[in-house]
Chains A and B, each alone.
Chain A
């Protein structure tokens, strides 16, 4: 039929233009980075079986709590976030759920050699006198690999179960000390509370600004607010960037985050909740509108047939 042939021509040129302008052009403009499924193959496997009780003693002895809080174990932060950032550049994380959010191999490597695990050796070169603010664990006299395994086992033992990690927990642990998410009310020093008096609200904002000043000095620029990143960068980009920022942006000051695959998904979900809040509603209404449109088209077709019966 002639009309179908014409339609085929229209569809062909439309699709051709679409493919060239969208998938093809974007493929040319942006480097494609494949996901490594958060396996961290560059890091050595953990060969020793860790002992959590021993790990707890090691953590106490090694002085981790000098910088890190472990809330679940009743160890508070030695400094508030603003002061901590002034000392270290960024607030050292609370370790309560580190065992659930981060990959075990990554944690083990991080404890021994932070700049290596974080892939920021271009920035922190110990031989050049530029130490990473996190002091490496040099061992407590025994087999260092065994000791590191024990510490990791301890962190895993106190953390929530992997399936209980919430999107907010994953995000706040892995990203939230550098990145604000304004649309979720998240600042680098925590969720901004609702204050009764404006001066309290402003005082909080000042703390955030002070924290950001330290962070800026530490990172080179203020890490961006991630509110709309799920729309501006997309899931694949964020996921692969989180996995290894150097793959996308060689030389960036952003460290490798080291989250495990589950927590990476949770982070993405958190960003979807921030920047693509209505996605479930969109799917649902979309289906209803499609059903309506199809029924409308069928009735329009039947009406046309009825009217044209008199014409041909």
Chain B
């Protein structure tokens, strides 16, 4: 057994049992961050804050929400929106944060791609991040079912239908997922469970993994510079804080994180109070009606690009393309064959690849929402094919990249 002495203070007492000094060093004051990074490196903190907002607002909503097909819509739109003090505020915060969190996830993801932050020892950061993207997607979808409005019902119908896998006609699987022939009580209950328990639990676990994956390789920097963290940390600790290329996570980088979070919160609360329509779809303010299909069924904006990859093809090919789109980002660290961990603008063809991919994602997103008619269908088809082609050529254009 370890040797314990009489504690001289509360801190010392805790230190002997929990090693809080060491933990503080490892997690904060001697967690070294390069200085040459920009505000895009604060997206992680914004995501943590937004996840916090989602959790807190979710807890308050959970106190009044009723997962029953007869009362769910009423409990959200009457009880929470009218009766409960500040219920409307929690709902707007929850709805807007659920949408904005994906905007930040996409910025975070494309920052990683641009600066090559998935390479050479940082593969686990990328993979855990992509797993978070998948679980956040499931979390967003399951949450979207809960108000039991028209879009909840019909999106639930369309998305669960995907699991019949086209010509395989796995209707039994679809019924098993729904717990019924159509979305009904069993369906609502299980998505409620997923949304408030299993998926948040998975997300919290994955966030832990994501942070842990970052601790050893350290964060990347904006110049693709290889930093000797031990040597630079030594300089810093000796007092040469200005010469050292690194800084402490707390309070050095944390102060910048908080500054970016401050600006973000102004934007976020503007959306919550004045511009929430994009996140709370009007169609979902009609109660679910299995006999009335809405004229246009579309997912939330953050799923549109992959929805569009499914849509322009015949069923089976579309499903294969959709499956491809779901997993391909995960494989990025191995598809990028280049030895360089530097920003995309210094990587020749890859730089072009990056911007084309980004624009293609925007085009796919727009076409995923627009009705699949006329020119929109054609653009959607071309953009989908381009997306697939881009990922197929990636290993070839990066293979011959010269080491810089």
Q: Residues of A at under 8 Å CB distance from B?
A: 2-3, 6-7, 10, 13-14, 16-18, 20-22, 24-25, 28-29, 183, 224, 227-229, 231-234, 275, 277-278, 281-283, 285-286, 289-290, 293-294, 296-301, 303-304, 306-308, 310-312
- Assess the B282–A232 pair: CB atoms within 8 A: yes
Q: How far is the CB of A229 from chain B (nearest CB, A)?
A: 8
Do A293 and B89 touch (CB < 8 A)? no
- Do A17 and B301 touch (CB < 8 A)? yes
Contact A311 B247, beta carbon cutoff 8 Å: yes
Q: How far is the CA of A290 from the CA of B272 in the complex (A)?
A: 10
Supply 28 A–B pairs (Cβ within 8 Å), ascending by A: A3-B38, A20-B369, A21-B301, A21-B365, A22-B277, A24-B370, A183-B78, A228-B285, A231-B77, A231-B280, A231-B285, A234-B282, A275-B77, A275-B285, A277-B81, A277-B82, A282-B88, A282-B89, A283-B273, A290-B266, A293-B269, A297-B259, A300-B259, A304-B258, A307-B252, A311-B35, A311-B241, A311-B242
How many Å lie between the Cα of A278 and that of B376 in the bound state?
39
When C-beta atoms are compared, the residue in chain B nearest to A231 turns out to be B285
The answer on a CB contact under 8 Å between A293 and B262 is yes
Determine if B365 and A17 form an interchain contact, defined as CB atoms under 8 angstroms apart.
yes
B82 contact from A224, A278, A299, Cβ within 8 A: A278
Other A-B contacts than A21-B365, A232-B285, 15 sampled, CB-CB below 8 A, are A3-B38, A17-B365, A20-B366, A21-B278, A183-B82, A227-B77, A228-B285, A232-B282, A232-B286, A277-B82, A278-B88, A297-B259, A303-B255, A304-B259, A307-B251
Considering the complex, give the chain A residue whose CB is closest to the CB of B276.
A282
Tell me the chain B residues, 104-140 only, with Cβ under 8 Å from chain A: 107
Q: Are A296 and B265 in contact (CB under 8 A)?
A: yes
Shortest CB distance A304–B (Å): 4
What's the nearest-Cβ distance from chain B to residue A298, in Å? 8
B40 within 8 A of A: yes
| CB pair B266 A297 closer than 8 Å | yes
**Contacts of B1-48 to chain A: CB distance below 8 A:** 35, 38-40
- What is the bound-complex CA distance between A20 and B284, given in angstroms? 21
Q: Which residues of A contact B88 (CB under 8 A)?
A: 277-278, 281-282
Q: How many residues of B contact A (CB 8 A)?
A: 52
Contacting residues, chain B, for A286 (C-beta < 8 A): 269, 272-274
Of A29, A229, A304, most buried by chain B (CB within 10 Å of CB) is A304
Task: Give the distance to chain B from A239, nearest Cβ to Cβ, in Å.
Answer: 15
Tell me, in angstroms, the Cα distance from A24 to B371 when the chains sit together: 12
Given A20-B366, A233-B282, are A6 and B259 neighbors across the interface (CB < 8 Å)? Answer: no
Question: Which residues between 225 and 249 of chain B lie within 8 Å of chain A, taking CB atoms?
Answer: 241-242, 247
Enumerate chain B residues within 8 angstroms of A16, measured Cβ to Cβ. Answer: 362
